[in-house]
Amino acid sequence: MRCGILTRKKLRLAVLVSGGGTNLQAMIDRSGAGALKAEIVVVLSDRPDAFGLERASMANIPAFHVDYKSIPKLAAADLEKLDLPVDPADLDRRQKIVRNPDPVERRSRLARLVLAERELIRIIDSFQPDYICLAGFMRLVTPYFINHFNAGGLKILNIHPALLPSFPGQHGYEETLQYGCKWGGITVHFVDEGEDTGPIIAQTVYPIRPGDDIGKIRERGLLLEYELYSQVINWLAQGYVLLKSSPGGRTRVEITDPNYGAILAGWIEKATVGRDVSS
The catalytic residue positions are 160
For the bound state, the minimum distance from the C-beta of residue 199 to ligand GRF, rounded and expressed in Å, comes to: 17
Tell me which amino acid residue 125 is.
Answer: D
Nearer to ligand GRF, 74 or 232 (CB): 232
Phi and psi at 231, nearest 5°, equal -65, -40
Among 13-21, 54-62, 197-205, 254-262, the segment contacting ligand GRF (CB under 6 A): 13-21
Q: Candidates 2, 5, 12, 20: give the one binding ligand GRF (CB under 6 A).
A: 20
Q: Smallest Cα–Cα separation from 38: which of 249, 177, 232, 261? A: 232
Interatomic CA distance for residues 141 and 132, integer angstroms? 12
At 44 the three-state DSSP class reads strand
Asked if 23 is part of the footprint of ligand GRF (rule: CB under 6 A), the reply reads yes
- According to DSSP, residue 2 is labeled B
Asked if 36 is part of the footprint of ligand GRF (rule: CB under 6 A), the reply reads no
Asked if 277 is part of the footprint of ligand GRF (rule: CB under 6 A), the reply reads no
Binding mask 196-235 for ligand GRF (x = CB under 6 A): -----------------------------x----------
Q: Smallest Cα–Cα separation from 244: which of 215, 278, 201, 182? A: 201
Number of H helices, E strands in the chain: 10, 9
Asked if 142 is part of the footprint of ligand GRF (rule: CB under 6 A), the reply reads no
Contact 59, 21 (CB under 8 A): no
Q: Which residue is nearest to ligand GRF (CB)?
A: 136
For the bound state, the minimum distance from the C-beta of residue 232 to ligand GRF, rounded and expressed in Å, comes to: 13
Size of the site for ligand GRF (CB under 6 A): 12
Interatomic CA distance for residues 221 and 204, integer angstroms? 9
For the bound state, the minimum distance from the C-beta of residue 225 to ligand GRF, rounded and expressed in Å, comes to: 5
Interatomic CA distance for residues 67 and 168, integer angstroms? 26
Nearer to ligand GRF, 108 or 231 (CB): 231
Residues forming the site for ligand GRF (CB under 6 A): 17, 19-23, 135-136, 159-161, 225
